[in-house]
Structure 1
């Protein structure tokens, strides 16, 4: 029997990660416990091959097809890929698993669903039962299986990384960071987190000896020298005894890894733990979530071991200071706009973070600022009515994974009665962008893989770039219009206009550096004329770039690059009172610039033969 395990695209692949340990574990278990051969195909990895073969997923030999829907962002891909597969393989047993199926199995069990089974939580044992049933020619299993967590991870067979042999040769092309997991589960219940959807909250790990074996096995198949290794465990090293022995073993490993990266919590570590992580060549990511005590209480963060949120923040300050002494790299994730957030809590969080990054004697960490995302299966999702009643939270698209622009719709909510979506986004940018800049200036980690961590610092600064905000404003206007507001248009948005005016200053300066100084009236016209008003709305984020921008899908008509207008009008030496005839109006940007130059006493006539463009102009 042949089994296909199919990844529609791993969420972390865009970050330069290579691995699929969850599918390798499933494949290894299935082959060890059933009479089958398992094949793994990843559609993202496939595109990196010299000769990709996307058609292989339709091979008639596959009797069981398991699709990984890792997160809610992959829901539509997973569902409609299965629809296509069902057309080609009507008799194959189709299975789906992952975080989203665990949180919302009903999304895969409707009358039009192509799936035979949905797996909640860990998939090894449910997949074994499905394969066994198909081999027996039976069909008695329920449609929804699990959760069936593996209590003893050492009972799992060795991970067979040859299951990724098709992609091992291009792994560095995909990314120089390898992913692996050594434990499962998290006993904490952070309000925003999907982890609880998998059913088992107990923390379980390979024994340290077995974990070391698995790391060596991974290195034999996929040499780790010169790479970073991201241990994707929800909470690495929760138990002190395991953590201590594991770090000792990893400190002795000679795999040539540039740096291990794992996720932990400030309230489960002490100074000696941080030193042990440092000796083992680790960096750590922390879910800090907020610098405001009140928000930490709402998020359910910081109460571990009888401590308080205030103790949690104090502990983090101490860890940041010790990290600086050790030259130890760290990252801290902060959520803005979490249900219950107010403008006052945003300000308090920003003030605490600003003090942290300014006052830590040696800053070797970075702050990652993320908008809150409404994840299904999280405690908030399960109790949204309570958040609506208590805080006035409004989630505008509760099933955002069904729609386009999920990066926007997942975040589109009013956190509280006193803080709506738009104000939250504006205030967050104003409050946290300076913190990202301070981190960029003060970040001083100089150890192994320093360039890796510097890229994270710089990427956070780029998140506050005006173009990123323009993408958000464009999507917000689109969805307001889809929801019945015909006046919503990002081209008429005052915040967008201000951001684009800011960007035009830089563009005009670059034009002058390249082509020489412009006459002041021409320079003023280029700065003042809102080029975005002459573009399709989906192109607004490009409005201040010095490039030609298409006005239609055909690309036959464009708005010329800004330097082209600057050079042409410089050569024409347009003056107040001049008359100008322009052939080829486009949508009118060039004529509008010329009108500013010739003034009220001049005259501009422009001719356009394309009726669609003429109507826009």
Structure 2
């Protein structure tokens, strides 16, 4: 008789509002690897409940977990604590499992247990086994041995991908049209900040292209896929295999869109020319462009000059081949100096100024101090040598509600603290300025893709039920065209007032412009729902843009003068804006 193995995906307490991934690849792979020796079932509480954000919601969540789990009777429970943000919920679920299933074997794995296995040790721990690293072989051994004669902390073995079992999509209970799929494991690089534990050897291994094709074909039978996301940290390492894969995808799944991540210093013209045959957007984790940060803190490269050149080249290649590219950066990184932070921001600004129109974007984010990697293990040394200040060591163990803020509440160095008076958000103002610049330079393809949250918000504000309509894509395209047109006019305003007016004044003009154009968006949606022809709606947008441009020329004359108050016209209505950014509508 087979053992009954229950796989559980935890959730995150007090986490930001995001759409969880319905298919957790780690659970899918583990489940598929032991299905021949166990009756398997998957429960994902992130999907079922979402993210509890208050003490009351957390208590309701625990009652919900009890209600769901008391219907089960597993021999083995394997729970994924994916990152440190999942830790508190994982512990609560494990304690509930121990109460409900006193004789079951409880196993935990994931990035956090790999990094901090001691979080699951101790006399009161409900856990029987902690798997560090890849868990397929270890979990199979636990099931086969009924959990006997094995160490509590098990170092997982790197799986030979030729031995990976066929993924049992048919047994996975949650469906999706955006599926993550892995074509390799491990990484060549050893970045100091990676969520992967510093002392776990995770060698790079790639899957044969024919097995990859089989994996995609099988997934397409069970999921209504619209978008395929390759979760490999460096996609396209083997150009010949990538060309074979792209040819397969182009011919068999041309209606899919695709996402992949790679490095700027590994991108070649041959690779991007190949990838441009698909509807693909690329992610580049640049992180920094400053020599000291790259070499001495991140260990991202050994050649900062070549890395900087690669950044400019990667942007240029995305532009040339019209491939959407997202370039990610980290601010307030442990130990980083003020001049290094400013250097990176200046480089981003320089590359934006090179182009009149762009199809790339830049994400600038605060560093979160995950445990277990090299930079985390250096935190005390960095405190002594560079003035790194981090008051919330062990932030993932606290039940206080502001978990995201606590994970990021650091000052990278004494240099940054002195330069910005201890403001951990020192880079936000410049980020917002850069954001205004590059969003206004998006071509239409980039705008409708990267500004999708804004476009959806406009539509949902009008009527949230519109998102279930079959013609939602047409409404989306109308609003995308409208907002993109407005962006070009707003750029003219920002160019007119930058370096001439106060930050508050600039922010007020941007808010006023958003206010006066939002009503027009509503008019467009209403016109479409009343069956106005698309050609006529497009004509409305052109006429509206012409009016805004004519008013800009008048307002630019007003703004060119130094005054205590500026009288400007938007949509034939007069507004007064004083030099401090206070707005009033003239009656």
- TM-score > 0.5 by shorter chain: yes
Deviation (angstroms), 1:244: 3.7
For residue 39 of structure 1, the aligned residue among 38, 41, 63 is 41
SS of structure 2 residue aligned to 1:427: coil
Provide the residue aligned with 2:32 in structure 1.
Answer: 28
Deviation (angstroms), 1:122: 0.6
SS of structure 1 residue aligned to 2:242: helix
Q: CA RMSD in A?
A: 3.2
Question: For 1:350-499, what aligned pairs fall within 5 Å after superposition?
Answer: 350-360=345-355, 362-403=357-398, 404=400, 405-420=402-417, 423-444=422-443, 446=445, 451-455=448-452
Deviation (angstroms), 1:287: 0.7
Deviation (angstroms), 1:377: 1.5
Task: For residues 257-286 of structure 1, give each alpha carbon's deviation from its aligned partner in whole angstroms, at most 9, with x where no partner exists.
Answer: 1x2111110111211111111113322101
Inter-partner Cα distance in structure 1 for 2:84 and 2:421: 24
Deviation (angstroms), 1:231: 1.5
CA contact (8 A) 2:332 2:367 kept: yes
Q: 2:168 aligned with 1:160, yes or no?
A: yes
Provide the residue aligned with 1:316 in structure 2.
Answer: 311
For residue 274 of structure 2, the aligned residue among 273, 276, 282 is 276
Inter-partner Cα distance in structure 2 for 1:246 and 1:125: 28
Provide the residue aligned with 1:567 in structure 2.
Answer: none
Task: For residues 471-525 of structure 1, give each alpha carbon's deviation from its aligned partner in whole angstroms, at most 9, with x where no partner exists.
Answer: xxxxxxxxxxxxxxxxxxxxxxxxxxx99xx89x969x989x99xxxxxxxxxxx
Deviation (angstroms), 1:347: 1.7
Deviation (angstroms), 1:445: 5.6
CA contact (8 A) 1:121 1:199 kept: yes
Provide the residue aligned with 2:261 in structure 1.
Answer: 263
* More deviation, 294-303/384-393: 294-303
Inter-partner Cα distance in structure 1 for 2:199 and 2:249: 29
Task: For residues 40-80 of structure 1, give each alpha carbon's deviation from its aligned partner in whole angstroms, at most 9, with x where no partner exists.
Answer: 111122249xxx98533233420100111000000000011
CA contact (8 A) 1:122 1:198 kept: no
Deviation (angstroms), 1:356: 1.2
Question: Structure 2 vs 1, CA of residues 283 and 437 (structure 1 numbering), >3 Å: closer, same or farther?
Answer: same
Inter-partner Cα distance in structure 2 for 1:154 and 1:101: 26
CA contact (8 A) 1:321 1:362 kept: no
CA contact (8 A) 1:329 1:445 kept: no
Question: Structure 2 vs 1, CA of residues 41 and 197 (structure 1 numbering), >3 Å: closer, same or farther?
Answer: farther
Question: For 1:79-228, what aligned pairs fall within 5 Å after superposition?
Answer: 79-134=91-146, 139-150=148-159, 152-164=160-172, 166-168=173-175, 171=176, 176-197=177-198, 199-224=200-225, 227-228=226-227
Inter-partner Cα distance in structure 2 for 1:13 and 1:239: 37
SS of structure 2 residue aligned to 1:414: coil
Deviation (angstroms), 1:12: 11
Provide the residue aligned with 1:297 in structure 2.
Answer: 295
Question: Structure 2 vs 1, CA of residues 342 and 263 (structure 1 numbering), >3 Å: closer, same or farther?
Answer: same
User: Which structure 2 residue ranges, 5 or more long, are not aligned?
Assistant: 51-62, 457-502, 520-587
Deviation (angstroms), 1:409: 1.1
Provide the residue aligned with 2:339 in structure 1.
Answer: 344
Task: For residues 60-117 of structure 1, give each alpha carbon's deviation from its aligned partner in whole angstroms, at most 9, with x where no partner exists.
Answer: 4201001110000000000111111211111110010000000000000111111000
Inter-partner Cα distance in structure 2 for 1:96 and 1:40: 14
Inter-partner Cα distance in structure 2 for 1:372 and 1:385: 17
CA contact (8 A) 2:32 2:165 kept: yes
Inter-partner Cα distance in structure 1 for 2:453 and 2:361: 8
CA contact (8 A) 1:94 1:116 kept: yes
Question: Structure 2 vs 1, CA of residues 426 and 410 (structure 1 numbering), >3 Å: closer, same or farther?
Answer: closer
Q: Give the aligned length.
A: 450
Inter-partner Cα distance in structure 2 for 1:244 and 1:196: 32
Inter-partner Cα distance in structure 2 for 1:16 and 1:359: 37
Question: Structure 2 vs 1, CA of residues 29 and 255 (structure 1 numbering), >3 Å: closer, same or farther?
Answer: farther
Inter-partner Cα distance in structure 2 for 1:104 and 1:64: 22
Provide the residue aligned with 2:556 in structure 1.
Answer: none
TM-score, normalization by structure 1: 0.67
Inter-partner Cα distance in structure 1 for 2:391 and 2:359: 38
Question: Structure 2 vs 1, CA of residues 332 and 247 (structure 1 numbering), >3 Å: closer, same or farther?
Answer: same
CA contact (8 A) 1:99 1:198 kept: no
CA contact (8 A) 2:110 2:132 kept: yes
User: Which structure 1 residue ranges, 5 or more long, are not aligned?
Assistant: 460-497, 515-617
* More deviation, 321-330/423-432: 423-432
Question: Structure 2 vs 1, CA of residues 9 and 21 (structure 1 numbering), >3 Å: closer, same or farther?
Answer: same
SS of structure 2 residue aligned to 1:435: helix
SS of structure 2 residue aligned to 1:246: helix
Inter-partner Cα distance in structure 2 for 1:316 and 1:457: 28
Question: For 1:567-586, what aligned pairs fall within 5 Å after superposition?
Answer: none
Inter-partner Cα distance in structure 1 for 2:408 and 2:139: 34
Task: For residues 394-450 of structure 1, give each alpha carbon's deviation from its aligned partner in whole angstroms, at most 9, with x where no partner exists.
Answer: 221121101222201111122112223963534201221111111211122628xx7
Inter-partner Cα distance in structure 2 for 1:371 and 1:131: 41
SS of structure 1 residue aligned to 2:370: coil
Deviation (angstroms), 1:357: 1.7
Deviation (angstroms), 1:183: 1.2
Inter-partner Cα distance in structure 1 for 2:511 and 2:349: 28
Inter-partner Cα distance in structure 2 for 1:422 and 1:70: 36
Question: Structure 2 vs 1, CA of residues 13 and 2 (structure 1 numbering), >3 Å: closer, same or farther?
Answer: farther
Question: For 1:538-549, what aligned pairs fall within 5 Å after superposition?
Answer: none
Question: Structure 2 vs 1, CA of residues 210 and 97 (structure 1 numbering), >3 Å: closer, same or farther?
Answer: same
Question: Structure 2 vs 1, CA of residues 96 and 197 (structure 1 numbering), >3 Å: closer, same or farther?
Answer: farther
Inter-partner Cα distance in structure 2 for 1:510 and 1:363: 26
Inter-partner Cα distance in structure 2 for 1:102 and 1:287: 23
SS of structure 2 residue aligned to 1:423: coil
